[in-house]
Structure 1
Amino acid sequence: MSWYYDFEPQKPIETDKGIKARSKRGDFVKNWWASRWLAAMERVMDRGRLQRGRSYARKGQVLSLTEAAGQITAQVQGSRRTPYKVQITLKPLPETSWQTVLAALAERPYFVAQLLAGEMPQEIEEAFHAVRLDLFPGRAELKQDCNCPDWADVCKHLAAVHYILAERFDEDPFLLFRLRGKSQADILAALGTASSVAGEEAVPEYQAAPSLTVDLTNFWQPGPELADFAVTITGPTSPYPILTRLGEPDFLPEQRWLKANYDRVTELALDLVRELVENDTVATAALE
């Protein structure tokens, strides 16, 4: 990355054409997989470069960030007129390793359901470790480069790209899979096929159900167990699961307009359901 050991930090050229981080203060990401990515990067950086990288990301110094074939390429506006070029390359998993991982994932329907909803199960690393593989790359599998004169392994320009990339991970967990060599469509198709094959079991012999005593007097009355049935209304565990699954729309350059409406619709829906539950509780109490 670097060739000058006496490099001193300088103030970057300000720009209004960059990608500004959504985070203005505090944590950059919400989901565990994006936090995991950032934590790995932050462990190998000194505090000064880390702070400057966060500042670059929030000010919009990252001019572009593209993903292709296991590689992230970006341009970062630094103190020189010509933007610096940043590359982050992940070593893809071999196809045989992917087949082993997908077979292990297909044995856990809970994983498949969460992936279909655009979420990454926190226990997914265990499935990778069970077959002696890692979802998150180690240092030997991650190649990083910036053409700036800084001597550090991870300079502030690389750090800024990592922070913007982590926000992309936060929205789209399948980005990590793509960088590892498998698209969302490939994974879901493989899991669907594996699950259907695993589910082909012998149909048990039919047994008639025991007859039930019909009591028409109490047929429409709630049973005593209903009082113990509790309902908790909460929002989605992962932000924008449907938008994440559908991907970037062709008719909008970014999803922020959809996300604002998504937040509003979610809030209204939760308020409506809570109101219905509250009204039902009051009505039930009045009948008792």
Structure 2
Amino acid sequence: MSDFKMSSDKPRRVTMDNVIYANFGNKQRVSTPEDRAEVVTRYRGKQFSPTGQRTVELTLKNADNGRQTRGEQYYRNGNVTGLNVLEGRVECTVAGSQNEPFTVTLTFPYRSSAKLREAYASIADTTNGLRLVRDGHLTASMLDHLVGNSDESIYFDCTCPDRSLVCKHAVASAYYVAEKMTANPALVLDMRGQGMAGLEALIRTYHTKVEEEPEDNQSFWEGKELPDLPDPKIAPAIDDSDINYLHKALRLVSYTSLEQLRAVSDIEDMYEILVSNHPDNRAKFSEEEAPE
């Protein structure tokens, strides 16, 4: 007897081993390397903006083929369910194999305030620069400043057990962020703490300043009075540095994200103890605590 049972006229559903396949949908078998390549090629044909494409490039360069393929599948299946834009980084929520979703943090290459001012000045000096940014058509120089250049990488931190530099959840998140950057070109400015409205105001101020100070041959040869040197305030090194590098270093020796956070907290506590025990600080604290 055949394992398949079909109605005499038109087959409406198929059963095999007492399992009904009517509601499972049509499955596509991908069994050969050529079939897999065709599926991936169709997916990768999706057009991202230059900003989104650069984000994907800086991600895939550190991911192996297996995690790239599984991450693409996660993205196609809609496993990335949320996105939160912070200063210098983006957080995504990814539904994985466990009950609780994983949180993936994409930290873009660090840019100081001076470097970001350079980027905005470059946009102001570029013909139709503001329109290019508004339409998502950033030049290579703009991408280097705002997203990262080809020698840099995006740092990923995922709450999943995978200890690789770029896990499948990170790949899926990178594609999701690229999609959102394509749909909303201002997202990269929000991530850098500027925003489109702020950039427009900054460029208007920049052009007004240039018009008020026309180039003068005499001032070019004789020079102008130099501005006063900045007087930066003294700040603790652990507060004045990029904390993401400390997290990155401790990730290599931590088994879980919780251990990593505890290690960072312990280092901060030790730093405070060392600073407070310094002779100069002890004298300062004694003066502050002395009764009036």
> What band does the TM-score fall into relative to the shorter chain?
0.5 to 0.7
Based on CA coordinates, which of the two structures has the bigger radius of gyration? 2
**What TM-score comes out, normalization by structure 2 length?**
0.52
Does the 8 Å contact 2:116/2:145 carry over to 1? no
> What residue number does 2:119 align with?
101
Partner of 2:61: 43
Q: Which stretches in structure 1 are left out of the alignment for 5+ residues?
A: 1-22, 203-288
Aligned position for 2:148: 137
The sequence identity of aligned pairs, in percent, is: 25
1:175 to 171, 187, 198: 187
Query: Which amino acid counterpart does residue 90 of structure 1 have in structure 2?
Result: F
Look up the SS of the partner of 2:83 in the other structure: strand
Aligned residues: 173
Partner SS for 1:63? strand
- TM-align CA RMSD: 2.7
Provide the secondary structure at the position in 2 that maps to 1:85.
strand
- 1:227-238 to structure 2, matched below 5 A, reads none
Q: Of 81, 100, 107, which aligns to 1:63?
A: 81
Larger RCO of the pair (alpha carbons < 8 Å, separation 6+): 1
Query: AA paired with 2:165?
Result: D
Q: Distance in 1 between matches of 2:148 and 2:179?
A: 18
SS at match of 2:106: strand
- Residues 1:80 and 1:33: Cα distance change in structure 2 (over 3 Å): same
Structure 2, gaps ≥5 residues long:
1-40, 215-292
Corresponding residue for 1:126?
A: 141
Higher helix share: 2
Amino acid of the residue matched to residue 99 of structure 2?
R
Residues 68/38 of structure 1: CA separation in 2 closer, same or farther (3 Å cut): same
Asked if residue 157 in structure 1 is aligned to residue 169 in structure 2, the reply is yes
Q: Secondary structure at the match of 2:104?
A: strand
1:66 and 1:194, CA in 2 relative to 1: closer, same or farther beyond 3 A?
Answer: same
Alpha carbons 1:93, 1:181 under 8 Å: kept: no
Specify whether residues 111 and 29 from structure 1 end up closer, same or farther in structure 2 by C-alpha distance, changes over 3 A only.
Answer: same
Alpha-carbon separation, structure 2, partners of 1:196 and 1:35: 34
CA distance in 2, matches of 1:190, 1:141: 28
Change (3 A) 1:171 1:145: same
